[in-house]
Amino acid sequence: MGTMTIIPEEPDDIWILYNIINPGDYVTADTSRKVHHQLNDAKTTTASRVKLSIHLKVTCRDFHKDSSTLRIHGRNLEPNNYIAVGSFHTLTLERNKPFELHKKLWKDDVIEALQERENHEACPEAELAVILFQQDHAEIYLIGKGVTAMVSKVETSSSRSGGRKSSSSSPSSSNSKNVFFREVFTAFIKHVDLNKVKNTVIASEDSKKDEFRRFMISEAKRMKMRSIEENIGRIVVAAGGGCNGDLKDLLGEGTVINLMKDSKVGLQIRALKKVWDMVSSDSDRACYGPKSVESAQEMGAIETLLISDELYRSDEVAIRKRHGCLVKAVRESGGDALVYSSMHVMAEQLQQLTGIAAILRFPLPAIDDEDNDDAY
């Protein structure tokens, strides 16, 4: 039992909080409420916002990906001049806003998650920024250790108007492309701080990637934007996107994998790609599904465990305990355990493997006979 004061600083911090704050916990934070005042004539009222502190017993919580905020719903436990004891209210936890979290029992995985965030180096809010050109629009992504977010989508003028496309060599086409590139550039500098993001990838299946990089360099020089000029070496191009391409395909490209080879998210992407390649080729060096993975661990065969945080930090006590013990056993036997956020760019692919898979130290041909459709 104990209380911690926590100040989330990055989007990943908010996601960690979503996974460790559970119903029955207690959260205390400052907030504001609109209060109505009745004037002396009893017919006129005015409204103002007052600051106050609320102490809630948590009933549920909601993570908002786009704003990187966490809404805590619960019952107020302490009286004040504006909120009655026992009434239900909502607190919004956001970056750089301190609050207190009280738990009756601090589990090992919760403490470990908080210590990892506290001890991590002053790192960028995102490992990678991506500008992905599709046929009629561009998507801008920020990829962090736990959260992948599309921060902007810029459409071409022809896409917005539904008009006919001009010949690629015509003056009007060239002007339209410059307008489009300028809009993409504006969106990029609005959402991406190159002093904090390690690398940027510009991707397309055609020549847009190279054209846009030249446009970006030219605009940065014209506008004297040192943040881009000084970091231009960390802005690279890669083949990807187009009519059928997506972010997951792009992240499997060698250029992108090399950029993220030393990062946690890069390690997770490489591990999942390796599992998929092994499963697709019917390799005996990989398995998935809870029974198969647990059997492999009983034989000391797991080199790398891949598990979704929906299993590892499940609200169901039995499921959480089961997978917590599995992760602990893998690590104690010298293996790696990678926990994938459900907001991770590759989360959907892991979920297709039941949310749990493993790369094995040695082949286990009979492991495929286990029931991979085991239900929780």
pLDDT, residue 370, reads 55
Looking at per-residue pLDDT, the higher value among 133 and 11 belongs to 133
pLDDT bucket at 159, cuts 50 / 70 / 90: low
Q: If pLDDT is split at 50, 70 and 90, which confidence band does 122 have?
A: very low
Average pLDDT of span 134-160: 84
pLDDT of residue 240: 76
Inter-residue contact 34 to 47 (CB < 8 Å): yes
Tell me: the pLDDT tens digits for 300-354?
Answer: 999 999 999 889 877 676 887 899 899 999 999 999 999 998 777 788 889 999 9
pLDDT of residue 124: 44
Task: Tell me which of 43-57, 222-236, 270-284 is least confident.
Answer: 43-57
- Judged against a pLDDT cut of 50, whether residue 191 lies above it is answered with yes
Least reliable range by pLDDT among 62-76, 99-113, 239-253, 303-317: 239-253
Q: Where are the beta strands (DSSP E) in the chain?
A: 2-6, 26-38, 45-64, 69-76, 88-93, 99-103, 128-133, 137-143, 148-155, 199-204, 235-239, 286-288, 302-308, 336-340, 356-360
Q: What is the pLDDT of residue 118?
A: 72
pLDDT at 299: 94
The more confidently predicted of residues 152 and 80 is 152
Q: Which domains does the chain have, with CATH numbers?
A: 2-119 (2.30.30.870), 126-158+172-260 (3.30.420.60), 264-360 (3.30.1330.30)
Q: Which residue type sits at 52?
A: L
- Report the pLDDT value the prediction gives residue 171, as an integer from 0 to 100: 45
- Token output for 293: 């993975």
Confidence category of residue 121, pLDDT binned at 50, 70, 90: very low
Quick one: what percent of the chain has pLDDT higher than 70?
87
Residue 245 has pLDDT above 90, yes or no: no
Q: Phi/psi class of residue 10: alpha, beta or left (left: φ > 0; alpha: ψ in -120 to 50)? A: beta
Is the C-alpha dihedral spanning 228, 230, 231, 236 positive or negative?
positive
Mean pLDDT value across residues 224-229: 91
DSSP result, 135-160: SSEEEEEEE-SS-EEEEEEEE-HHHH
- Kindly report the pTM of this predicted structure: 0.62
Instruction: Return mean pLDDT, the chain.
Output: 85
The pLDDT value recorded for residue 161 is 57
**pLDDT at residue 38 greater than cutoff 80:** no
In angstroms, the Cα distances linking 50 to 77, 92, 247, 307 are 19, 16, 44, 44
Q: Is the pLDDT of residue 52 over 50?
A: yes
Report which of residues 148 and 329 the model is more confident about. Answer: 329
Q: Which of 82-96, 100-114, 128-142, 162-176 has the lowest mean pLDDT?
A: 162-176
Lowest-confidence segment of 257-271, 300-314, 362-376 by average pLDDT: 362-376
Q: Which 8-state DSSP code applies to residue 365?
A: G
Six-digit token string for 14: 């908010």
97: number of Cβ within 10 Å: 15
State residue 368's pLDDT score: 60
Given a contact cutoff of 8 angstroms between Cβ atoms, the answer to whether 248 and 345 are in contact is yes
* Per-residue confidence (pLDDT) for residue 32, from 0 to 100: 85
Tell me how far apart the alpha carbons of residues 137 and 159 are, in angstroms, rounded to a whole number.
Answer: 8
Range scoring the smallest mean pLDDT among 23-27, 145-149, 247-251, 274-278: 145-149
Among 150, 225, 220, 148, which residue's Cα sits nearest to residue 181?
220
Model confidence band, residue 358 (pLDDT cutoffs 50, 70, 90): very high
